[in-house]
Amino acid sequence: MRAPTFDLTLLRTLVAIADTGSVTAAATRLAYTQSTVSMQLQRLEAQLEMRLHERDGRRLRFTAEGERLLAHARHLLTVNDEAWSDMQARQVTGDLTLGIPEDYASLLPSVFAYFHQLYPAVGLTVQCGTSAHLVEQVKTAELDLALVTRQRHSPGGEVIRREPLVWAVGVNQQPLLSDPVPLALYTPGADVFREVAEQALQAAGRHWRVAYTSQSMAGLAPIVTAGLAVVVVTRSMLTPSLRPLDESSGLPALPMIELALHRAPHRPTEPARRLAELIREQLAVPSEG
């Protein structure tokens, strides 16, 4: 007698229903019709000869048996997907160059580690630079990919993430916030942070002076933590030595910035496509307001 085997397609439908909360939403996720999703759920129930769901008004709710199967389904699909990725990953080879500003390197350690685990035969080279310069290097195909702050004068790229900018000072010390406000800013052309900060202050009728400049946060941090200047950062760039200022500081609100992924003009290589997918999955979080 042949041992019974679960149909992973049916289990994936079950998980989609649980994740999205409805047959309609699950159909959209899976690119099925609603009737197909309903029939697959019924087929699973028929195979097991047990009720896996029930209706609570217009809502679908899993029974105790449905919840038990859901836990098994998630485990089986995880093993299946890992096995599939592993077998496919071993076939991906080649070289790949990625450009990122130094300040964004802290966003990607887990991406780099997982990418190397999945694709050990790919030679990944990471190059740091200013966002504007990295965009130009992608355009000339010197880089395969670049994750940068989206530039106002050359937007382009695929927006991966949006983050609010904030004013920050040292966690233990800060300067007087009366005019002229002492600022620690990126050097001109290094990023849009400087432009955004100056425009916000000008619109608010505030005066400022440039106390320190650098092409990276590593260069700006010492003077800020010493309490000698205010800096503009994204929330993900805040460190334990920095404290964000709220509205009571008297400084104007700052807008959102966009992190964009730029690709070289030639057709992306398989390693570039795989890394782009991982970056998108890792960084595509809901925008903060």
- Token pair of 188 as six digits: 């001109």
Residue closest to 130 by CA, chosen among 190, 174, 88: 190
Q: According to the model, what pLDDT value does residue 132 have?
A: 86
Q: According to the model, what pLDDT value does residue 121 have?
A: 87
Q: According to the model, what pLDDT value does residue 31 have?
A: 79
Report which of residues 215 and 88 the model is more confident about.
215
Q: How far is 177 from 65, CA to CA, in rounded Å?
A: 61
Q: According to the model, what pLDDT value does residue 286 have?
A: 40
Q: According to the model, what pLDDT value does residue 288 have?
A: 45
Q: How confident is the model at residue 154 (pLDDT cuts 50, 70, 90)?
A: low
Q: How far is 70 from 62, CA to CA, in rounded Å?
A: 9
pLDDT tens digit sequence for 223-241? 999 999 999 999 888 889 9
Q: How far is 217 from 103, CA to CA, in rounded Å?
A: 6
Q: Give how far Cα 158 sits from Cα of 55, 145, 150, Å.
A: 41, 11, 9
- State mean pLDDT over 29-56: 89
* Model confidence at 287: pLDDT above 90: no
Q: How far is 157 from 259, CA to CA, in rounded Å?
A: 9
Lowest model confidence (mean pLDDT) among 60-74, 87-101, 113-127:
87-101
* Model confidence at 91: pLDDT above 90: no
Mean pLDDT of the residues in the chain = 88
Q: According to the model, what pLDDT value does residue 55 have?
A: 81
> Which residue do the tokens 């992973």 mark?
8
Sequence-ordered list of residues with C-beta below 8 angstroms from that of 181, at least 6 positions apart, any chain: 175, 201, 206, 207, 208, 209, 230, 251
- State mean pLDDT over 255-274: 90
145-149/208-214 β-pairing: unpaired
Radius of gyration of the chain (CA): 25
Where does residue 36 rank: exposed (0-12), middle (13-18), buried (19+ CB within 10 A)?
A: middle
* Model confidence at 289: pLDDT above 60: no
- State mean pLDDT over 81-94: 77
- State mean pLDDT over 80-107: 83
How much of the chain exceeds pLDDT 90, in percent?
Answer: 52
